[in-house]
């Protein structure tokens, strides 16, 4: 997750990953339950997202990494 966010890649994760709340709060990715339906929703949500919204999420992913995961913090 951290590596993807550091590169400006939004994270698609389940609610079983420990940092899901922070990612969701920062708008740095999409979160769904850990099951087939949740995974399907993550992929569909990303593929159906307008490009402008994807771009904004990429920016928020970088900011999320910088504020929560960057080693100097």
- pLDDT value for 26: 96
Q: How far apart are CA 11 and CA 14, in angstroms?
A: 10
The dihedral region occupied by 39, where left means phi > 0, alpha psi between -120 and 50, and beta the remainder, is: alpha
The predicted pLDDT at position 2 comes to 85
Q: What is the pLDDT of residue 73?
A: 65
What are residue 30's DSSP bridge partners? 12
Could you say which residues of the chain have pLDDT below 70? Answer: 73
Give dist(CA 50, CA 30) in Å, integer: 14
């Amino acid at each position: 997750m951290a590596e993807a966010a550091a590169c400006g890649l939004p994270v698609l994760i389940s609610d079983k990953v420990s940092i899901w709340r922070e990612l969701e709060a920062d708008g740095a990715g999409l979160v769904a339950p850990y099951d087939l339906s949740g995974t399907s929703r993550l992929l569909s949500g990303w593929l159906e997202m307008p490009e402008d919204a994807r771009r904004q999420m990429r920016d928020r992913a970088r900011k999320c990494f910088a504020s929560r995961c960057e080693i100097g913090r």
